[in-house]
Homo-oligomer: A and B are copies of this chain.
Amino acid sequence: MIRIAIDCMGGDFGLPVTVPSALDFASRFADVHLLLVGQPDAVSAALAADARSRVLADRVEVVPATEVVAMDDPVEVALRRKKDSSMRVAAQAVKDGRADACVSAGNTGAWMAITRYVLKTLDGIDRPAIATSIPNQLAGATIMLDLGANVDCSAEHLLQFGIMGAALAQGRDASARPSVGLLNIGEEIIKGNDVVKHAAVLLRDSPLNFYGNVEGNDIFKGTVDVVVCDGFVGNAVLKAMEGIAKMLGSMIREEFQRNAYSMMSGMIAKPVLNRFKDRMDHRHYNGAALLGLRGVVIKSHGSADSYAFGFALQRARDAVAKGVLERTASYIAQMTQQGGESLETPT
């Protein structure tokens, strides 16, 4: 049984999204046990309103939490004043061994701070990082990290991101070790900065399957399984990606609405365009992993609907099933044995 603690109060919509999505998820996966964390009366009412809750009663339980972290709560408030928040209780369930993973669609900063405070980082990992799957041309997905948890990174941090990313990734060939690329800039121009150059040396000497430098377009080509970069670059690229997808979508729509002929051909091409739209649907990629903590932690997009939230729950289940934490620990153990060197940034 994979046990997942869900912060049912978080996100732009809260219970009306999280509870139906959780029930749908439990219906689809017989190996999950869900802890629905939140204000007990409200969660119970949401459950009672959904007929599936009766069938799933033995795999879905309510875990009470009296407080809620608001989307605009400062991190300090979330962490220090709301000690019985649904976020905190969900993280604590993982800490206490009652759950294997926790998921929230709430305030990113608060969720990062709370899970880090409650769960702590794994041995050998200085800082948690945010990772997500990005669709690539090989009809697979590239894992990219960090996406914004760390704006200033040392070479050692980038190495740790490589370890965490590889632990999360499944190689294209299941038996192969996932390949890791280091995001760098065009070869024509002065290559990289000192941190990136040093990180390349560390990655090359590590037990990871290090591919070498990659560029921004390699993320979408699927050149490697994992792309590593600092959080500032990763966040900028991720947001740019969302912006481009939106722009292209609206350009296509515009062109198909330009005149009577375009509209007619758009109607005919509708099944094709819908398939394309479906492939590009960002909801399929919902659920970023906060890696490097002593527990599987997933962050859903705040604006996720029930369908999208279900993908965040699936990522939690996958990460537990794949043994991401154990894999991370094993990479770190291999490195410590191999070099005897500390992974951590010299202080």
Interface residues of A (CB under 8 A from B): 107-109, 112, 135-137, 148-149, 151-152, 183, 185-186, 188-190, 192-194, 196, 215-221, 229, 231-233, 235-248, 250-252, 255-256, 258, 261-262, 264-266, 268-269, 271-273, 275-276, 279-280
> Do A193 and B151 touch across chains, with their CB atoms under 8 A apart?
yes
Nearest-Cβ distance from residue A197 to partner chain B, whole angstroms:
10
Option from B183, B217, B236, B238 in Cβ contact (under 8 Å) with A246 = B217
Given contacts A216-B236, A238-B216, A271-B261, contact A245 B244 (CB under 8 A): yes
Residue of B nearest to A248 (CB): B248
Given the known inter-chain contacts A236-B215, A240-B216, please indicate yes or no for A109 contacting B188, CB distance below 8 A: yes
- Checking B190, B255, B275 against A258 with a beta-carbon cut-off of 8 angstroms, the contacting residue is B275
Residues of B within 8 A of A264 (CB): 268
Contact partners of A256 in chain B: CB under 8 A: 269, 272
Closest to A153 in B: B193
Flag if A217 contacts B189 (CB, 8 Å).
no
Cβ contact within 8 Å between A275 and B255: yes
Smallest CB gap from A232: residue in B? B185
Q: In the complex, A179 Cα to B239 Cα: how many Å?
A: 20
Q: Which residues of B contact A255 (CB under 8 A)?
A: 272-273, 275-276, 279
A248 touches B251 (CB 8 A): no
Q: Which residues of B contact A271 (CB under 8 A)?
A: 261-262, 265
Q: How far is the CA of A266 from the CA of B135 in the complex (A)?
A: 24
A65 → chain B closest CB, angstroms: 21
Give the distance in Å from the alpha carbon of A196 to the alpha carbon of B237 in the complex: 17
Distance, CA A204 to CA B219, complexed state (A) = 35
> Which of A235, A264, A275 counts the most B-chain CB atoms under 10 A from its CB?
A235
Q: Please give me the residue from chain B that is nearest to A214 by CB atom.
A: B239
Give Cα A192–Cα B186 distance, bound, in whole angstroms.
24
Of B218, B236, B265, which contacts A269 at CB under 8 A?
B265
Q: B239–A217 contact, CB under 8 A? A: yes
Per the bound structure, the CA–CA distance linking A239 and B152 in Å amounts to 22
Q: How far is the CA of A151 from the CA of B188 in the complex (A)?
A: 13
Task: Name which of A112, A136, A196, A216 has the most chain B CB atoms within 10 A of its CB.
Answer: A216
C-alpha gap A233/B149 in the complex (Å): 16
A276 and B258 within 8 A (CB): no
For A236, the chain B residues whose CB sits under 8 A away are 183, 185, 215-216, 229, 233, 236-237
Are A241 and B239 interface neighbours, CB within 8 A?
no
Can you offer 9 A-B residue contacts whose CB atoms are under 8 A? Answer: A108-B189, A135-B247, A152-B193, A216-B236, A220-B240, A241-B244, A244-B244, A255-B272, A261-B271
